[in-house]
Amino acid sequence: MTNTESAPSAAKKASARKPAAKKDAPTVIEVRNPGTGQIVGTVPAQSADEVAATVRELRLYQPEWEAIGPDGRKEWLLKLQDWLIDNTEHLADVLQSETSKPRADALIDPSFGADLIGYYARRAAKFLADDHPSPHSPLARVKKLTTAYRPYPVVGVITPWNFPLAMPVMDVIPALAAGAAVVLKPSEVTPLSALELARGWREIGAPPVFEVVTGASETGAAVVGNADYIQFTGSTATGRKIAAACVERMIPYSLELGGKDPAIVLADADIDRAAHGIAFGGMFNAGQVCISVERVYVEAPVYDEFVAKLTANVKALRQGIDGRELKHDVGALANENQVDIVQRHVEEAVAAGAKVLTGGKRTGQGTFFEPTVLVDVDHSMSCVAEETFGPTLPVMKVADEAEAIRLANDSVYGLSASVWTGDKDRGERIARQLNAGAVNINDVFANLFSYALPMGGWGLSGVGARWGGANGVRKYCRQQAITKPIVPTLQKELFWYPYQNAKLLTALGAMRAAGARGLRRIDIPALLKLKGDNK
């Protein structure tokens, strides 16, 4: 707007540039606490034009952000880390308001974020340093070879509702550390925590290279349609659509999608540890974790003991709504749709002959579903074949490890798995036979807190990976190859026009001698042919 242009006039012009909104398209989204149904906030449903304008703005500031280098960016990222720590209680309040998580779970997100920021902020300079690979042959040693890492200008991050603060931090921070600008589209179910993260970025006075846009599918599609790289976490169905859109635009993408993670309990396992670990792995965040334990295979000799201890552990869980007090273990599901999925899986399993040992139904107001253990289940049931994303643990008896491995691999998903055994070498041997992007031995979620390892899925669980040390920031970069002479150069290289056979013969002979083996280093007929052409 110019100084001489009136506000009504400017608004009229802006309105004329935008297509008319659909009559049934909401302009405001209500955010509700799923445990109580209470409205806790509202956010705008931003249009495709608004998203495009946001991305254009980010492009203006990104070159300067890249230019300050990883050490310059480190200072801003560590200021954001300070802000997260200083505002932990408030962030947990906001997170609880839109998720109805227990207080303990809500406190994890900001602490996790601070930990991850420290890892990438302090290591980005090393991770992004130029590589100088060794030449492949003596002939190539006349050049200095360099691989430089240049960020994509604008990275689009689309996150789900299960960890409204941690999920954005997982991908926004490495992208910022790489030198990219970032547009984040959080789930419309839980956008408030992401907006707090953006507020923190502004409050520390950081450059305007991180923005949040809010809305539903139209907003997300606009992010995919305007950014230069897409990182998406969510359902496999939506991931397919995003992949197709990215291929159409010829831009790279990384997808972390669904999971149906198996746990294998062997007869030599510490049954107490396995029962505690799998109860936690299946019920943490009410089972709404991409790497939740969703299937359990137990060797026959310890099956009864394990089931009894697992059931006791799950039955003892405290479920309810927390304020700032720490008194519950499991909270509500994110929305009614998730309750419907969990309830359907349990009801279909029971109808097909499964038994509920504890839980199995909705409870109280809101979207609470009891922590549930199911037995007498098999792979024909939806509770085993489909992603549940809720507080259920179906348990199956197996004859031996071979059957456990076969059943664990009988899935379209391959995100992570766990193996419980008293023999760690045996556990690793089994891990290497499982079709999963990560396997934890005698633990759950351990890989989630190991940023030096890649976190990615196989099969319908996704494409690409986050983290993995240097790869966690390099994934947001374009690789640029640079060659530079290190010896005095000729006016004309041997291969340049016009061809001269004697020089060409020398160059080709040298290439063959450097790369081939035995007598094939010298091709006599070809050499004679070239000599004959010289006459």
H/E run at residue 454: strand 454-455
What is the Cα–Cα distance from 381 to 392, expressed in whole angstroms?
Answer: 13
> What residues contact 182, with CB distance under 8 A and at least 6 apart?
58, 154, 155, 156, 157, 172, 175, 176, 209, 210, 211
Superfamily of domain 261-450: Aldehyde Dehydrogenase; Chain A, domain 2 (3.40.309.10)
Average pLDDT, 10 consecutive residues per value, the chain (535 residues): 32 37 72 97 98 98 98 98 98 98 96 97 98 89 95 98 97 98 98 98 98 98 98 96 98 97 98 98 97 98 98 97 93 96 98 98 92 98 97 98 98 98 98 98 96 97 97 98 92 85 82 85 63 50
Instruction: Tell whether pTM > 0.75.
Output: yes
Question: Per the omega criterion (within 30 degrees of 0), is the bond before 498 cis?
Answer: yes
d(CA 423, CA 483): 50
Angle between the N-to-C axes of helices 271-283 and 300-315, in degrees from 0 to 180, rounded to the nearest 10: 50
Q: What is the pLDDT of residue 508?
A: 83
Q: How far apart are CA 228 and CA 354, in angstroms?
A: 48
Question: Angle at the Cα of 81 (from 77 to 83), degrees rounded to 5?
Answer: 115
Amino acid type, 160: P
Q: What are 382's two structure tokens?
A: 């939806």
In three-state form (DSSP H/G/I as H, E/B as E, the rest C), the secondary structure along 378-420 is: CCCCHHHHCCCCCCEEEEEEECCHHHHHHHHCCCCEECEEEEE
Note the pLDDT of residue 35. 95
Catalytic-role residue among 98, 188, 246, 290:
290
| Nearest by Cα to 180 from 73, 104, 318 | 73
Domain boundary assignment for the chain: 49-257+471-479, 261-450, 492-534
Architecture of domain 49-257+471-479: 3-Layer(aba) Sandwich (3.40)
Instruction: Determine the pLDDT at residue 526.
Output: 57
Rounded Cα distance, 166 and 170, in Å:
6
Q: What pLDDT sits at residue 37?
A: 95
Spatial separation of the C-alpha atoms in residues 417 and 263, rounded to whole Å: 6
Active site residue 256: yes
User: Beta-carbon neighbour count of residue 521 at 10 Å?
Assistant: 12
CA distance 151 to 476: 6
- As a whole number of angstroms, the distance between CA 385 and CA 396 comes to 13
Place of tokens 């999925």: 341
Would you say 22 and 48 are in contact if contact means Cβ atoms under 8 Å apart? Answer: no
CA distance 5 to 113: 44
**Radius of gyration from C-alpha coordinates of the chain:** 28
Question: How far, in Å, are 67, 128, 229 from residue 73 at the CA level?
Answer: 9, 12, 20
Distance from C-alpha of 433 to C-alpha of 402, rounded to nearest angstrom: 10
> Annotated catalytic, 246?
no
Three-class HEC string of 16-72: HHCCCCCCCCCCEEEEECCCCCCEEEEEECCCHHHHHHHHHHHHHHHHHHHHCHHHH
Four-CA torsion 128, 196, 27, 223, nearest 10 degrees: 10
Q: Which of 256, 299, 370, 386 is catalytic?
A: 256
Q: Which of 286, 276, 230 is nearest to 253 (CA)?
A: 230
